[in-house]
């Protein structure tokens, strides 16, 4: 039976990417060697890294003055990396608290100085993106999409030219068009919408670096990685290669503008059924609903076992919600076809017919 993968992460990847990646593990480009045993300094892998970085720039229209990196550590290390490189000594850093991952970023930033949470939706269990007033701090950090609670920034904060905007885009990178020039730093773990776990992608405005007034450990210093073209240490070759393949796939289907249309169609189909069907209730406020992660619950708890059996029998995987809020979470990352969302919606309709 075909599986419909709604997992929140690791993400679903295109079948063509999985095939090419598995072939490369056995042998990369008729080289007689596996992707994961060649030197990361060899011409074949340097070409992979160069292409991956170039595709990021092309797909997101990255302007001059920015560098792209693929590093280890995931976004969890990115929380500390962002703070080390942009949190100025003796000044407050502003953060928006929209859930578990922004709370983790705030925790790391507090190791380096004072943090001010300028907006939070914690009092409503993070069911919306909070409104923000004027930001006076030198930098503002946001998490653009919140996988656990199913909320997403629908517009980005507008700051003054002398302020810095930093964003963790781990779970919605490449899902919609963005203006990279609005940001001084974008970082994203690959495993939510780009590739397998093991690498994190950074887009860095180079002129914003080196102004914190602190010494930075070498591995956390983005300037060090820029000077070494993401090769300061051995990179996670499989994760970078597979991310490159996914970016090739995205370019081949029309790029970010085209995938945004598909993502909006999937979200509309999913949320329309959640709102229509009396047996289900959405979690996130409508104005903050994520196109990547639709969170919802069943209105009669005693019916949950029957619904769980029905969606499992339909070949649906990864629908259970995070333990923080329970219920269900349909993660609709780039590679999830509209067909899979239709299968889930059909199950919900049939469940209403038989149990409503």
* 250-254: long-range contacts, CB 8 A cutoff, minimum separation 24: 250/59, 250/174, 250/334, 251/55, 251/58, 251/59
How many helices (H) and strands (E) the chain has is answered by 9, 14
Which residue(s) pair with 141 in the sheet?
95, 166
Q: Cα separation of 138 and 135, whole Å?
A: 8
Pairing verdict, β 164-168 and 139-143:
parallel
Neighbours of 332 (CB within 10 A): 26
**144 near 169, Cβ under 8 Å?**
yes
- Residues marked active site are found at 101, 168, 192
Neighbours of 121 (CB within 10 A): 23
- Token pair belonging to 344: 């889930």
Helix orientation angle between 255-276 and 237-252, rounded to the nearest 10 degrees: 90
């Amino acid at each position: 039976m075909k599986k419909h993968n709604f997992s929140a992460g690791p993400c679903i990847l295109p079948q063509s990417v999985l095939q090419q990646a598995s072939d490369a593990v056995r042998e990369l480009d008729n080289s007689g060697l596996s992707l994961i045993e060649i030197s990361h300094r060899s011409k074949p892998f340097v070409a992979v890294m160069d292409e991956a970085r170039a595709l990021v720039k092309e797909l997101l229209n990255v302007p001059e003055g920015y560098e792209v990196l693929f590093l280890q550590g995931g976004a969890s290390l990115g929380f500390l990396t962002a703070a080390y490189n942009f949190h100025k000594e003796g000044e407050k850093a502003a953060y928006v608290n929209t859930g578990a991952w922004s709370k983790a970023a705030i925790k790391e930033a507090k190791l380096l100085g004072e943090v001010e949470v300028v907006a939070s939706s914690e009092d409503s269990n993070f069911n919306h993106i909070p409104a923000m007033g004027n930001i006076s701090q030198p930098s503002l950090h946001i998490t653009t999409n919140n996988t656990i609670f199913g909320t997403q920034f629908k517009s980005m904060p507008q700051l003054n030219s002398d302020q810095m905007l930093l964003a963790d885009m781990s779970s919605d990178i490449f899902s919609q068009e963005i203006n990279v020039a609005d940001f001084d730093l974008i970082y994203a773990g690959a495993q939510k919408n780009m590739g397998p776990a093991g690498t994190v992608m950074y887009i860095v405005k180079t002129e914003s670096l080196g102004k914190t007034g602190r010494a930075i450990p070498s591995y956390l210093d983005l300037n060090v990685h820029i000077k070494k073209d993401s090769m300061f240490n051995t990179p996670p070759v499989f994760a970078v290669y597979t991310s490159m393949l996914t970016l090739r796939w995205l370019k081949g289907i029309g790029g970010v503008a085209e995938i945004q249309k598909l993502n909006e169609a999937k979200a509309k189909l999913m949320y329309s059924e959640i709102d229509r069907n009396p047996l289900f209730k959405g979690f996130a406020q409508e104005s903050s609903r994520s196109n990547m992660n639709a969170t919802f619950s069943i209105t009669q708890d005693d019916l949950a076992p029957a619904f769980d059996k029905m969606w499992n029998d339909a070949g649906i995987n990864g629908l259970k919600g995070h333990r923080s809020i329970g219920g269900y979470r349909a993660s609709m990352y780039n590679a999830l076809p509209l067909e899979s969302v239709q299968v889930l919606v059909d199950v919900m309709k049939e469940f209403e017919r038989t149990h409503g």
